[in-house]
Amino acid sequence: MDSNAHEALRLLVAAYEEHLAAILARRGDEDASVDDAYDSLADAFDRYEAVLDVEYGETLPMLLDDVELEEPEEDDEEDDALDAHAGEDEDALDDDLDDFQLR
């Protein structure tokens, strides 16, 4: 293994160990050390995968979840409000037909 790839792998393994240590020493749900260790692990993963790609044309069989939760756009909320029956089932729609004598 090339020294760059070996060094990137060593740093990735160390980041995994630091992440686990931060989790085990967690002092609450909002412990910043766990978040910092998570970010360091993600960075080490990206570095290792980049080295593998550049030096060997290889990738890893894992993907990081880079998707951030987005706030719904105002247009989406308006679309839901326009169709009040969107969540109704067929039986409820049949009842509406009967109630309004549309059959």
Kindly state whether residue 99 falls inside one of the protein's structural domains: no
Kindly state whether residue 24 falls inside one of the protein's structural domains: yes
Rg of the chain (C-alpha set): 26
Kindly state whether residue 32 falls inside one of the protein's structural domains: yes
- Structure confidence at residue 69 as a pLDDT band (50, 70, 90): very low
- Structure confidence at residue 61 as a pLDDT band (50, 70, 90): confident
Kindly state whether residue 19 falls inside one of the protein's structural domains: yes
Kindly state whether residue 66 falls inside one of the protein's structural domains: no
Kindly state whether residue 102 falls inside one of the protein's structural domains: no
DSSP letter, residue 67 = P
Range of the domain at 32: 3-56
Number of domains making up the chain:
1
pLDDT, residue 60, reads 87
Average of per-residue pLDDT values in the chain: 78
Kindly state whether residue 72 falls inside one of the protein's structural domains: no
Kindly state whether residue 16 falls inside one of the protein's structural domains: yes
User: How far is Cα 27 from Cα 29, in angstroms, rounded to an integer?
Assistant: 7
